[in-house]
Each structure stands twice: as C-alpha cells, then as structure tokens.
A and B are shown apart, each in its own frame.
Chain A
Amino acid sequence: MRRALPFLLRRLVLLVPLLFVVALGTFVLLRLGGQDPSAMLAGPTATADEIARLRAQYGLDRPLPVQFLIWLGRVLNGDLGHSWISNRPVLAELVDRAPASLELLVLGVLIGALVGVPVGLISALRRGRGFDHAARLISLLGFSVPTYFLGLALLLIFFYVLEWAPPGMGRLSLMLDPPPRVTGSFLLDALFAGRWETAQSAAAQLVLPVASIAILCAAPIIAQTRAIALSVLSSPPIAYAEAQGLPPRTIARIALRNAATPVVTFIGAELVGLVGSGSLIEYVFAWGGTGQFGLDAIVKGDFAVVQGYVLLLAVFSVVVFLAVDLLVLVLEPRAGRA
C-alpha cells in the first residue's frame, strides 16, 4: 500500500479547486434562477418596505461578487450559514440528516450490487439462453420504471394490498422514540442501545425504500456487468488461458479478476448517480434525509441550504470515487502510475 498515500494526497489537493468551482457554479445558478427568497420569507402581507429591510438584513442587496465572497469567507471558517426557513445552522441540519440518506443509499446499492453482479455474470456465461433473456428483460423493466412510481407501486402492493410492510411515513413507527444518537442510523443506534422493538421498526421502515433503490441500481449493474463479462470472456488473455490448458476454475478466476475493476468503477458511479433518484425515494417514503431536505430547499429558495447541500454532494462523490480508486489500486497493478 505504499502507492496509496501519495495518491491520496494528490487527490486531496485536487479537491480544493473542485469544491471552489462547484460552490461558484451553485451560487451563480441559484442567483440566476429568479427566485426571490425575501418575498417568500416576508409572507404575502408584507409591504415593500419590509421586503427591502429583509433584503438588507440578509445582504441580498449587495453586488453578487460581494455576496459570494462573504459566503465563501464564512464557509472557510466552517460556517455554512443558516437556513432561512428553520433558522438553524445549515451544517447542523445536514449533519443531522445525512446518516438517514447514507443508510438508504449504501444499503440499497449494496443489495443492488449483491444481486446485480452475480446475475450479470451468470447472464454472460449463459448468453442467449433462458436465464440471460429473463435477466435482460428484468433489467430493462428496472431501467424503464420511473423512480417515484416504483416507490408508490411498492407501497401500494406491500403496504396497502398485502399489508406486509409498514406505511411509508418516515424512519420509525410513530409510536416509538428514536434511540440515542451514535451513528445517526436508527437501526444501528437501536441495536447499540439494545432496544429490539425500535430496531425492528427501523428495519421494517427501511425495507421498501431500500428495495426501491436496490431495484433502481440493480438494472444498470446487471446490464453493465453482463457487457463487461462478455468482453472479458472474448478477450485475448482468456483465449490464451484456454490455449495453455488451464483448468476451467483458473480461467474463471482470471476472467473475474479482469472484470472486477470496471465493475467496481461502475458501481461507484451508480452510488453517486443515485443521489438524485434517492431524493425522490425519500420524498415518497417521507424519509427526511438530506435528499428530501435539499430538494425542499431548492423549491423554497433556501439559498444557504442549497449551497451547503450541493457542496456536501460534491464531497460525497469525491469520497466515493476516492474509495473506488483505492479499491482499483488493489485490484490493478497498472493503476496509480499515470
């Protein structure tokens, strides 16, 4: 792992300009969006005078570059500003909600990958046969179903008709109190605290939203794994392994090793790409994570929250890709040299 440290350092240095560009882009786009938060904050009965006072109070009457620099200066001091709606610090709001979203995304993608990768591999090995056709059909269905519809359909079937799942009303039954916060995941925290009933409820609430995300990401993972496996199986190293009379198990291991890097990279990209769909799933299940919170802030013009949320997403994607790159470094002797 002696290659890993300089690699990490280089990536961390690159993070600085990336975050700056993301912050600037978000800031400009928000201001170009034409929303006037002061009017919304002041309410429908406010006079022009009151609105002007609010604008001055929030610094919205200053030139845009000045606004940006003020915001940037505060961010560098660890202050992401306050939500205009809840009046709480943005950072605290995000930190409170992030574990809920992470729990959903990571569990969903993990299950999606655990199902999608083997299905894609078997599909490639049985190309053109029954299993392959079935897998491709299911994958196509997963591709074509709209995100919010998937969540609602699962609720309709498993809550309303079959009554197997709890209603999509948040992360815990309304009858229970949240466990003391350690990780922020209700399921883990309840387990740590030994509150089995709470843990059970948290797990039950997780099932449908996690299943939605797993279905959403399994579809492309199946398709991509199948394509990668097919191209590896028809590649010269595999043909050469056969020409050397290596046993089928050795050949399978060579093929798997060669397919691992692109598959892992793709799953990482899926994890980042699913943040958007994840927000919609959060809405459907009233999950109350950062995704739902961020979407809400965009709709309501809560500028500081939107900026903080987008920065958080940028950091999240960098962290995920960093983790992927570290994995690739382990899998791939040629990586880390370029």
Chain B
Amino acid sequence: MSLLEVSDLHTHFVTRDRDDRIRTARALNGVGFTLQKGRILGLVGESGAGKSLTVTSILGLLHPPARVVAGRALFQGRDLLAMSASERSALRGNRIGFVVQSAKASLDPLARVGEQLVRVQRAHARRSRREAMERAEAILAAVSIPDPKRRLAAWPHEFSGGMAQRVVIALALVNEPDLLIADEPTTALDVTVQAQILDLLSAAVRGRGIGAIIVTHDLGVVAQYCDDVAVMFAGSVVEQGPVAEVFPRPMHPYTQALLAATPERLRLGAGLRLGGPPPNLYALPEGCCYRLRCDRSRDVCRSAPPLAQVGDQRAACHFAREPAEAEA
C-alpha cells in the first residue's frame, strides 16, 4: 500500500462575474501521483501550476470559492477526500505534518512557541502539559534551535525567518507524523539558510523513515533532496517518476524545457525554450494544455494526451516515446 495515492483530483474555483454569470476556473485537472513510505517527492512547476492547491485540496484546507469536485487521495488506504471534516482534522498536524511557506506570518503571534507546541500535541493526544512541554523542548533541540529550554518561552516575533521555519518544522514533527508536507518551505528565506532548512527537513524525514512531499519551483532542490518528482503544468501532473530517471531523460516537452532552463544548461548554450503565459484556467485549450507553448505541437495534440510509461517514469504526451529533437 502506498503512503499517499492521489488520483484524478479536480479542484475548481466557482465565482460569479459582474453580470452574475457563473465562471469556473479549472485550477486542478486530474492531478495524480503516488508516494511510497520512506521517499521524498518533489512537486514542481511554475507559479499557478497548482502545486500548493494540490496540497491544500488533499488536506481539506480549501475555502470557498475553491472546491474539490472529483478525485481520490488515499492516505494509508483511507480516502482523505471522502472522510468528514473532523476525521481529516484529526489527521492533520498528527499523522500528516504540514510545513508552511511563511513561518513568521503563520505562527500565532500571541502564543509563546512552547505553548504552540503543547497546543498541537494536546489537540491530538491525551498528554499532560508537563509531558507535552518536555517533548516540545526535545523537538526544538532536534531541529537545532540553540538553548531550547529558554526558547520555549519566546514569542514568534523574537525569531529570525530561518529559526521560525525551524519552529514550524518542529510543530510538524512533534506528533511523529507518517507524512510530512512542506509547501515551499524555503521560498521566504535567503539562500544560505535555505540549504540549512532543507538539510534539516530531509534528515528528519530520512531519520524517521516517513514520506514527504516538498512543493517547490526549484529544480535544484528536487535534484538534491528528492527521490521522486512530479512535474505540474496547468493543474495536472505532466510527468512523474524517480528523479534519477526523469532528470537525465525527460519525456515531456515541458519537463525538457524546464530542465533546459536551469542556469547550468543555459550556460552550456542550450537555447531558452520556456516561454509564454500559463493557459487561461477559465477556458483551457482542448486536448493537451501545453500545446500552445509546445514547439512539438501537432494536430494530434488537440486530443487528450495518453499516459506513456517507461519503467517507473510516466508522461502525458503524444510524443513521449519519441526521442526529443536534437537539443538546439
């Protein structure tokens, strides 16, 4: 049994325009991926591709006008999307730890860090305050926060960005979850701190043998820290598989373009092939969503692309099995 198995996930934003006509933005269009225990999955894609939305949809954190309209998300065999709000809430922060993007803005400004760590423990387990406080201290030490006993009494605004991110990781880990989801955990941090946080995060996951999803737009992060990758474009996963297979031999033209746009490749003289806006979510193109930006687009792309599989690698493209054209 997979740790997490998402299939055919559709999330829409339904709003009314000024003429009171209903408008539907199809933000997620059949997202599917699988995560095994003990592995780290990188969810990559450009802004607006639906990476964070995928995560918030699975966790049941959507607010109107966003709504999951179809799909399954099996966590340890139980469908997160079919269970009641309170059942999901019992899993969140407990079996599924969540690391937010902007730690400093997200921590409760009016509660000491120790209190927040105690709160999340006592929301999910019968535990005395004293015992919870001891565990809180231990977990702060585990995320390398110096002088953890004293820092338990500190307020969130007294932490730097990087230290606050460590606190958020501690909050996600304190209940010893089976799955850790990190939504752009280092976007708000400067580069030197980014590496420390990611090292910490992956060490914590590896050390516990749990599964993790890291949402990022940084292919370097995926290459360095993830076992698997799922590439998202316009609300669907266009390619997925082990990093060791996808990165050297990308099958989808979008993945190829993304990889070609990394600074190293550009320096080697590969032309920039990534251009154009994301498709209009209110009126998605027929067939393959990427065809308007794809340089291999043909008539056949007006029909939905099949899922091609080579080994553990899968890509949604009509030409996935054909070798990419010689790199320019």
Taking Cβ atoms with an 8 Å cutoff, the residues of A that contact B are 234, 236-237, 239-247, 250, 254, 257-258, 331-334
The answer to whether the Cβ of B102 comes within 8 Å of any Cβ in the partner chain is: yes
Q: Is the CB of A245 within 8 A of B157?
A: no
In the complex, A257→B110 CA distance in Å?
7
**Which interface residue of B111, B124, B155, B171 has the most chain A CB atoms within 10 A?**
B111
What's the minimum C-beta distance from A280 to chain B, rounded to whole angstroms?
A: 39
Name the one of A236, A254, A331 contacting B102, with C-beta atoms under 8 angstroms: A236
Given contacts A236-B100, A239-B61, A334-B157, contact A244 B171 (CB under 8 A): yes
Name the one of A243, A246, A254, A257 contacting B100, with C-beta atoms under 8 angstroms: A243
In the complex, A237→B109 CA distance in Å?
8
In the complex, A145→B221 CA distance in Å?
61
What's the minimum C-beta distance from A245 to chain B, rounded to whole angstroms?
A: 4
Which chain B residues border A332 with CB–CB below 8 Å? 110
Q: Is the CB of A334 within 8 A of B123?
A: no
Taking Cβ atoms with an 8 Å cutoff, the residues of B that contact A are 59, 61, 63, 88-94, 98, 100, 102, 105-112, 119-120, 123-124, 155, 157, 171
Q: Is the CB of B108 within 8 A of A241?
A: yes
Q: Is the CB of B61 within 8 A of A254?
A: no
Closest A residue to B181 by CB, please name it: A243
For the complex of A and B, the 6 pairs showing the least CB-CB separation, nearest first, are A244-B93, A245-B92, A245-B93, A240-B106, A236-B106, A243-B98
Given contacts A242-B61, A246-B120, contact A258 B110 (CB under 8 A): yes
In the complex, A25→B100 CA distance in Å?
53
Name the one of A234, A237, A245, A258 contacting B123, with C-beta atoms under 8 angstroms: A245
Given contacts A243-B59, A246-B119, A334-B155, contact A254 B93 (CB under 8 A): no
Closest B residue to A258 by CB, please name it: B110
| CB-defined A-B contacts under 8 Å, sample of 5 | A243-B59, A254-B111, A258-B108, A332-B110, A333-B157
In the complex, A242→B124 CA distance in Å?
13
What's the minimum C-beta distance from A234 to chain B, rounded to whole angstroms?
A: 8
Q: Is the CB of A244 within 8 A of B110?
A: no
Q: Is the CB of A258 within 8 A of B109?
A: yes
In the complex, A244→B181 CA distance in Å?
12
In the complex, A53→B82 CA distance in Å?
93
Which chain B residues border A236 with CB–CB below 8 Å? 100, 102, 105-106
Given contacts A237-B108, A239-B61, contact A244 B102 (CB under 8 A): no
Q: Is the CB of B109 within 8 A of A334?
A: yes
What's the minimum C-beta distance from A251 to chain B, rounded to whole angstroms?
A: 10
Given contacts A245-B123, A246-B93, A246-B119, contact A240 B100 (CB under 8 A): yes
Given contacts A333-B110, A334-B109, contact A244 B61 (CB under 8 A): no
